[in-house]
Amino acid sequence: LPGTRPVLWLAAGATAARVGWIAATRSYAPTFDAADYDGLARLIAAGSAYPLQLSAAGYVPTALRPPGYPYSLGAFYSVVGDRLTAGRLLGAGLGVIAVLLVYAIARRLGGDRIGLIAGWVAALFPPFVVLNGGLVSETLFITLELAAIWAMLRWRQDGGRLVWAGVAGAFAAAAALTRPNGLALIAVLLLVVAASVGTPVRTRLASLAVIAGAAVLVLLPWGLRNLDAFEQVVPVSTNAGFTAGGIYNSSAMTGGDLRGIWRAPFTVPDFRDLYEDPGLDQAELDSAVLARAISIAWDHPRYTLDVVRLNGGRLTGLFGPQQIVDQWNSEIGARSPAPVLMKLSVVALLLLALLAALRPRRLPEAMRREWWLWILFGLLLVTTLPLLANPRYRTPLDPFLIILAAVPLGEAGRRLAGPLARPPSQGAGAS
């Protein structure tokens, strides 16, 4: 890498921040989703197949949790032991890789200065540092997402080499196996290759085939497992209905701060009959809950718009009921003064990213040319806003905001450095 020493300092800084945080929060105990991931990983490490789930029909096959993170954590536990600190250190390692990928992507989009600024912001950004100390799937998803983006930038800027198309497709599919909205990443990769009019048609067609083939190869083993378990095609998970049903139900339509707050769908009257039906396997149950949730959303368009509006503020962690922020802090083990630092840093990041977005002509040319990055940002946002309000689900969007924020920070740095670098005027200091 050009400028290896700054990159080593960046990696060291990111590592120190994350390991330091883990050392300072040794009493961390996973809760909510983090506890679920930890439990799945321990069973997998002990040699279990993907664990069963209790339902009205007894213990049945499940695909509620996408397999990427539980299997990764379980594989790590099987090597080093199923200790929480080990799992947290895996998250720290994934976080450092993500920081280096932010640097590499920003450097390709804006040059060395923008790359280093974005890298250091990612290295020290409190929500990232704290996230990497929690046992949540976003630690893996963000790294895979960034790896796919980096590989596609290599494909775009290095003449359409097929190896980069294959790498991008494989990482995107792995991201989809970690969080289902990673499927949007595969779609965007195919779109950007198809729309790269400056690339020969033969290269584009071959690259489309390679991306699709790599994605299928990665998704196929889990898809075959699900076909055997549910006797229908389930590419990633059975949590679409579980997620949507938790928001689009009569209980969540209550007024006040709790309006649009997710509830476990098996606890609300709208879906209780479905969850009590022993004749439904999990895939059938998920489809039935999803269909009913869509019907509720369709019948209450004003409520649906309210959910989008409210979630926009709640995803930042700055607005909404405290219980959402408390859940986020509990899952990742955030304790004072981290929550305050996280809120302040999110405000600063949003303001800087907005400043950059409002002045698109000031963005580096490569950043403007890679239009597909912002389509991907939009798709990830659109697949989150109507459903999820926990700030944890915003974190896959943060690398895009960090890269944008690096532009005005770079401009400010040049302005500050200008007077310091300017030679003294003639006659200065003369006696």
pLDDT band per the 50, 70, 90 thresholds, residue 429: very low
- In angstroms, rounded to a whole number, what is the distance separating the alpha carbons of residues 347 and 158? 36
Contact 281/60 with Cβ under 8 angstroms? yes
- For residue 149, report the phi and psi dihedrals to the nearest 5 degrees: -65, -45
What is the per-residue pLDDT for 67?
A: 96
Q: How far is CA 208 from the centre of its chain?
A: 24
- In angstroms, rounded to a whole number, what is the distance separating the alpha carbons of residues 140 and 95? 8
pLDDT, average across residues 232-241: 94
What is the per-residue pLDDT for 51?
A: 79
- In angstroms, rounded to a whole number, what is the distance separating the alpha carbons of residues 171 and 84? 26
Q: Burial, 5: exposed, middle or buried (Cβ in 10 Å; 0-12, 13-18, 19+)? A: exposed
pLDDT, average across residues 411-428: 66
Angle at 31 between CA 25 and CA 34, to 5 degrees: 90
- In angstroms, rounded to a whole number, what is the distance separating the alpha carbons of residues 384 and 393? 7
pLDDT, average across residues 192-220: 96
pLDDT, average across residues 300-304: 95
What is the per-residue pLDDT for 257?
A: 84
Whole-number percent of the chain with pLDDT over 90: 85
Whole-number percent of the chain with pLDDT over 70: 96
Q: Residue 230: left if φ>0, alpha if ψ -120 to 50, beta else—which one?
A: alpha
Query: Does the pLDDT value for residue 82 go beyond 90?
Result: no
CB atoms within 10 A of CB 386: 17
What is the per-residue pLDDT for 413?
A: 84
What is the per-residue pLDDT for 180?
A: 94
What is the per-residue pLDDT for 2?
A: 55
Reading the block at residue 222, the tokens are 């889990």
Reading the block at residue 382, the tokens are 């659109």
Q: What's the chain's average pLDDT?
A: 92
pLDDT, average across residues 1-24: 91
Q: Is 53 helix (H, G, I), strand (E, B) or coil?
A: strand
Condensed to tens digits (0 to 9), the pLDDT of residues 367-400 reads 999 999 999 999 999 999 999 889 999 999 999 9
Condensed to tens digits (0 to 9), the pLDDT of residues 188-201 reads 999 999 999 889 99
What is the per-residue pLDDT for 428?
A: 44
Residue of 157, 132, 153 whose CA lies nearest to 142: 132
Contact 182/145 with Cβ under 8 angstroms? yes
Question: Locate tokens 């998920």: which residue?
Answer: 286
**Least confident piece of the model among 35-39, 253-257, 285-289, 325-329:** 253-257
CB atoms within 10 A of CB 70: 24
pLDDT band per the 50, 70, 90 thresholds, residue 431: very low
Residues 6+ apart with CB under 8 A from 337: none
Query: Does the pLDDT value for residue 359 go beyond 70?
Result: yes
pLDDT, average across residues 136-142: 97
pLDDT band per the 50, 70, 90 thresholds, residue 430: very low
Q: Is 54 helix (H, G, I), strand (E, B) or coil?
A: strand
What is the per-residue pLDDT for 424?
A: 57
Question: Locate tokens 């339902």: which residue?
Answer: 55
What is the per-residue pLDDT for 403?
A: 98
- For residue 386, report the phi and psi dihedrals to the nearest 5 degrees: -75, -5
CB atoms within 10 A of CB 224: 11
What is the per-residue pLDDT for 256?
A: 81
Count CA within 13 A, CB hemisphere, residue 85: 9
Question: Locate tokens 């539980």: which residue?
Answer: 70
Query: Does the pLDDT value for residue 322 go beyond 90?
Result: no
DSSP 362: G
Residues 6+ apart with CB under 8 A from 137: 33, 37, 66, 68, 69, 178, 179
CB atoms within 10 A of CB 295: 12
Reading the block at residue 415, the tokens are 């302005």
DSSP string, 219-276: HHHHHHHHHHHHSS--SS-S-HHHHHHHHSSTTTT-SGGGTT----GGGSHHHHHHHT
- For residue 63, report the phi and psi dihedrals to the nearest 5 degrees: -135, 30
- To the nearest 10 degrees (0 to 180), the angle between helices 84-110 and 68-80 is 120
What is the per-residue pLDDT for 419?
A: 65
What is the per-residue pLDDT for 80?
A: 93
CB atoms within 10 A of CB 11: 17
